Chains A and B, each alone.
Chain A
């Protein structure tokens, strides 16, 4: 494991609940039905999650549908407010302490300059009626760039990097295939050279050959740019291919984490064992 001063993102005791909670479920030892309180029906989507992301590594988060993976990613990208927890970005010297406590304006700045996000559904990450080059420029404009020439050059560079032909850069993503839309999203997310990239189920819904292209692209970007990444997936094959370390989530809690090979070769938790054996 890398040294502590290589941490680029640190999460401590992060929780997200939907509902007000009650006297029963506010006790941490109280047994929930899956992740829901049987008394007040409060859903604990993410519960007391802690982890670090190191410089240049790819951290995988794996788990079944409803395990809290996407909610976790939404909180990391400030799409959703956390109920409690600490979120630190040690490399961002403009923010001290918990970034959940900064103003919404500052959160937008962090989103634009420190983070890149690729959503499972491209509609969430792209403006489908605007051209691809404008979609990429949006992130640059949001971080204060006002030079059209500079922004189009940057957009061209990243569109080439994700293998989108430049003669299609004026086309709107709605005219593109699912794989191409994901590649435009990746180009947009990278356009500001963010140190951290968040990828939420980026290959879901794509056919196998396109999946392979996108995964190869992610590996190449990580190799060339040294970006730290968090990859969420329910597919262990993707996790095995991409990730240095892996966390397994179940019912809102991290039940196992470690080096990816170790998790896949020697799973300790019963759920992880089921998950691993199901793909063998």
Chain B
């Protein structure tokens, strides 16, 4: 049986592209869309996958990562599905890819103007923790009433003395909409601010698309006396590559019980190791 290019039928792709255009036109605004059935379960990246499938063309070069890794089961399966139904080229190098689908990370290599980053989003509504009604959250967004997003952070300060949201930290986009940036670590939030590429966020289960267009102001929410801070890896060094200043995974050595750190973005780490090896060979 023949399969349509990029799995989805053309009408579905057109509808998703139309909603994507609307999301780009209104940065940070959640655009509802008719989320399609896919051969993976909702909650496993169907929002991101639908965006990827509707946008991909034969000339595109695809990269899929899951929590910084190109080799995880989720990333491999999504990449295989897209590759099998499109035949497009794939890469692990961020700078070569034209379309990057990611779960929970923005790559360490800054995006370029020709690139699109698609993020998988489990919960697109930043006010959901304080307001369960979709009707009411829509009204709150309409009125730019975001005290709900702030009281969640305020409560954390009251309980723990600091803000404890380490991922999916809410951001104000273009001074208008508060957006849930998907569960990327706080470390990645500043990368969205005035970045050169297009960032699209798709929530398949919640049927929403939102976007951060290139060169858009993205500001993490904070208080005057509790400013926004990223995770601090300044004094940490990657055990595998010797890199520092990047987002790292904290691991424990099974034999010694010692805590060590490894660069989370595996392709970035490989590139740096290769560069180092080439330099070393040249000497």
Chain A positions within 8 Å of B, measured between CB atoms, are 104-105, 108, 127, 130-131, 133-134, 137-138, 141-142, 146-149, 151-152, 170
Contact = CB atoms under 8 A, between A and B. Distances in A.
A108 B141 CA distance: 12
A130 B147 contact: no
Interface of B: 130, 139, 142-145, 147, 150-151, 154-155, 157-159, 222-226
Q: What is the interface of chain A mostly: helix, strand, loop, or mixed?
A: helix
Nearest to A103: B143
Contact of B154 (A104, A108, A137): A137
Contacts of A138: 147, 151
B1 to A, nearest CB: 52
Nearest to A133: B158
Contact of B226 (A130, A133, A137, A148): A148
Contacts of B223: 146-148
Given A133-B158, A146-B223, A105 B151 contact: no
Nearest to B142: A104
Contacts of B147: 138, 141-142
Contacts of B157: 148
A104 B138 CA distance: 13
Contact of B155 (A134, A142, A147): A134
A116 to B, nearest CB: 15
The 7 closest A-B pairs by CB, nearest first: A142-B147, A141-B147, A105-B143, A134-B155, A147-B224, A141-B150, A148-B223
B154 A148 contact: yes
A279 B256 CA distance: 80
A138 B130 CA distance: 11
Contacts of B130: 127, 130
Contacts of B158: 131, 133-134, 152, 170
Contacts of A142: 145, 147
13 contacts: A105-B142, A105-B143, A105-B145, A108-B145, A131-B155, A137-B151, A138-B151, A141-B147, A141-B154, A142-B145, A142-B147, A147-B224, A170-B159
Contacts of A134: 151, 154-155, 158
A104 B143 contact: yes
Contacts of A108: 143, 145
Which of A134, A147, A151 is the most central at the interface, judged by chain B CB atoms within 10 Å of its CB? A134
A149 B223 CA distance: 10
A105 B226 CA distance: 27
Nearest to A134: B155
A137 B150 CA distance: 10
Given A142-B145, A170-B158, A170-B159, A127 B224 contact: no
Contacts of B139: 104
A9 to B, nearest CB: 22
Nearest to B144: A105
Given A141-B147, A141-B154, 15 more contacts: A105-B143, A108-B143, A131-B158, A131-B159, A134-B158, A141-B150, A142-B145, A146-B150, A147-B223, A147-B224, A148-B223, A148-B225, A151-B154, A152-B158, A170-B159
A256 B146 CA distance: 42
Which of B154, B157, B223 is the most central at the interface, judged by chain A CB atoms within 10 Å of its CB? B154
A147 B139 CA distance: 26
A75 B45 CA distance: 44
A131 B156 CA distance: 10
B176 to A, nearest CB: 12
Nearest to B221: A146
A130 B152 CA distance: 9
A250 to B, nearest CB: 33
Contacts of B159: 131, 170
Nearest to A127: B130
Contacts of B142: 104-105
A133 B144 CA distance: 23
A4 to B, nearest CB: 33
A141 B152 CA distance: 11
A152 B222 CA distance: 16
A170 B160 CA distance: 11
B245 to A, nearest CB: 29
Which of A105, A133, A141, A142 is the most central at the interface, judged by chain B CB atoms within 10 Å of its CB? A141
A220 to B, nearest CB: 27
A118 to B, nearest CB: 19
Nearest to A169: B158
A147 B154 CA distance: 10
Contacts of A148: 154, 157, 223-226
Contact of B225 (A127, A133, A149, A170): A149
Which of B130, B139, B150, B225 is the most central at the interface, judged by chain A CB atoms within 10 Å of its CB? B150
A91 B22 CA distance: 42
